[in-house]
């Protein structure tokens, strides 16, 4: 099987490339503008990388789409600090630029596996979010946070429409707070633009207070990246066409915790390291209003718990890594990545 992964240098893309090279005999063609996360893949058999611009390299991309059995367009913006302050760029990249890839797959009869997001559920009141049942409820237009969710939701609907009218083969997957090595950089965290676990870790190591937006009461279902890419492998493998025209939540409902609880876990992990014990013990948790941290365009969701019944039933997949181990492994890997 030949797989095309666009945005291969990103968090999900780089882990997926490694996983597929280790666990399958598939040929992986990767595309990204940089390669700093792909060190374990470069030079390996069955792996090739093209460094280029997602906006302009259409001829090369279309040629590879034609040769591939499955296309994964993983290019996108997925950090609240970025899409709140850059809503037009978010829409352009997450929807418009990816739409051309979907249309290439329609034109050449190729299967597309597209990353939706748990954000599409927005402010749904369901206690367990189900792919084919839960309502999608977004906040007002003045809250620019929702442009990311709206862009992804629209892409979900367009892909499903192409499946209905043009016979496009597709699967949509919705990651729920995947964490692990290479999630974000400390450069992002320095500017307070990283996602929760990287931001909290950076703040502790640099003597900052941990800013708990909204008191850190919002809850998420944190998922080990290794569990996530195992599910993606099953989706790509598509035995007996089990993933055809389906949407899958990929998350770990057993790992549901508040951001405050996450911060306290990270502090406990660092206290176990003699080098960082004093830093961790001195760390203060302070509550901050979301408008002061993110700006007026932010609006939050109190809880987000996925139903993974469909992935369990159709793919035979089950999340395995418990929360404490997921957090510990992520912290240890991030320390190592930064030479700490």
For the chain, what are the domain ranges? Answer: 2-183+223-254+302-320
**Residue 295 clears pLDDT 90, i.e. is over it:** no
Q: Kind and range of the H or E element at 64?
A: helix 58-67
d(CA 266, CA 276): 11
Q: Report DSSP letters for 245-270, one per residue.
A: TEEEEE--GGGEEEHHHHHHHHHHHH
- Token pair 């882990």 is found at 15
**Residue 22 clears pLDDT 90, i.e. is over it:** yes
Strands (E), 8-83: 27-32, 47-51, 70-73
Instruction: Give the tens place of pLDDT for each residue, 238-289.
Output: 999 999 999 999 999 999 999 999 999 999 999 999 999 999 999 999 999 8
- Contact status, residue 105 vs residue 112, Cβ threshold 8 Å: yes
User: What mean pLDDT do residues 95-104 have?
Assistant: 97
pLDDT at 182: 95
Tokens of residue 30, six digits:
């990767």
d(CA 38, CA 49): 9
Query: Terminal CA-to-CA distance of the chain, rounded, Å?
Result: 39
Mean pLDDT, the chain, whole residue set: 96
Residue 299: pLDDT band with limits 50, 70, 90: confident
d(CA 159, CA 99): 9
Those residues with Cβ within 8 angstroms of residue 332's Cβ, 6 or more apart along the chain or in another chain: 269
d(CA 200, CA 326): 15
Residue 80: pLDDT band with limits 50, 70, 90: confident
pLDDT at 219: 97
**Residue 81 clears pLDDT 90, i.e. is over it:** no
pLDDT at 220: 97
User: What mean pLDDT do residues 306-327 have?
Assistant: 98
pLDDT at 252: 98
CATH superfamily of 2-183+223-254+302-320: NAD(P)-binding Rossmann-like Domain (3.40.50.720)
d(CA 243, CA 259): 33
d(CA 3, CA 6): 10
CB atoms within 10 A of CB 240: 7
**Residue 303 clears pLDDT 90, i.e. is over it:** yes
For the stretch 169-207, what's the b/e string if a residue is b when 16 or more beta carbons lie within 10 angstroms of its beta carbon? bbbbbbbbbbbbbbbbbbebbeeebbbbbbbbbbbbbee
**Residue 116 clears pLDDT 90, i.e. is over it:** yes
**Residue 71 clears pLDDT 90, i.e. is over it:** yes
**Residue 292 clears pLDDT 90, i.e. is over it:** no
Q: Which residue, 70, 116, 101, 337, is CA-closest to 247?
A: 116
C-alpha radius of gyration, the chain, whole number: 20
**Residue 154 clears pLDDT 90, i.e. is over it:** yes
Distances (CA, A) of 16 to 100, 219, 257, 280: 23, 26, 25, 33
**Residue 304 clears pLDDT 90, i.e. is over it:** yes
Report the alpha-carbon angle 74-9-50, nearest 5. Answer: 95
**Residue 94 clears pLDDT 90, i.e. is over it:** yes
- Stated length of the chain: 340
Instruction: Give the tens place of pLDDT for each residue, 189-244.
Output: 999 889 999 999 999 999 999 999 989 999 999 999 999 999 999 999 999 999 99
Question: Which of 5-19, 183-197, 293-307 has the highest mean predicted lDDT (pLDDT)?
Answer: 5-19
Residue 296: pLDDT band with limits 50, 70, 90: confident
d(CA 56, CA 58): 6
**Residue 83 clears pLDDT 90, i.e. is over it:** no
């Amino acid at each position: 099987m030949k797989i095309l992964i666009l945005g291969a240098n990103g968090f999900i893309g780089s882990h997926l490339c490694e996983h597929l090279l280790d666990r399958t005999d598939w040929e992986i063609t990767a595309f990204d503008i940089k390669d700093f996360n792909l060190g374990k893949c470069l030079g390996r058999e069955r792996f090739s990388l093209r460094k280029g611009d997602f906006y302009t390299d259409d001829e090369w991309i279309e040629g590879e789409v034609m040769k591939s059995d499955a296309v994964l367009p993983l290019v996108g913006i997925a950090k609240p600090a970025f899409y709140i302050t850059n809503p037009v760029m978010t829409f352009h990249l997450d929807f418009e630029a990816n739409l051309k890839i979907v249309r290439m797959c329609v034109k050449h009869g190729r299967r597309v596996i597209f990353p939706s997001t748990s954000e599409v559920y927005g402010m749904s009141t369901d206690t367990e979010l189900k792919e084919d049942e839960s309502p999608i409820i977004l906040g007002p237009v003045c809250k620019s946070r929702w442009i990311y969710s709206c862009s992804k939701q629209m892409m979900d609907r367009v892909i499903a429409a192409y499946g209905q009218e043009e016979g496009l083969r597709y699967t949509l997957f919705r990651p729920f707070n995947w964490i692990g090595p290479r999630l974000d950089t400390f450069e992002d965290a320095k500017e307070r633009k990283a996602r929760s676990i990287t931001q909290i870790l950076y703040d502790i190591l640099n003597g900052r207070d941990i800013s708990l937006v909204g008191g850190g009461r919002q809850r998420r279902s944190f998922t080990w990246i290794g569990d996530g890419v195992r599910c993606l492998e099953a989706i790509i493998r598509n035995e007996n066409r089990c993933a055809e025209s389906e949407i899958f939540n990929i998350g770990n409902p057993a790992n549901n915790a508040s951001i405050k609880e996450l911060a306290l876990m990270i502090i406990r992990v660092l206290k176990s390291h003699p080098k960082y014990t004093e830093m961790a013990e001195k760390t203060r948790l302070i509550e901050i209003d979301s408008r002061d941290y993110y700006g007026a365009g932010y609006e939050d969701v109190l809880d987000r718990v996925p139903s993974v019944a469909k992935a369990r039933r159709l793919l035979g997949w089950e999340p395995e890594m418990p929360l404490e181990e997921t957090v510990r492994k992520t912290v240890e890997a991030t320390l190592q990545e930064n030479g700490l």
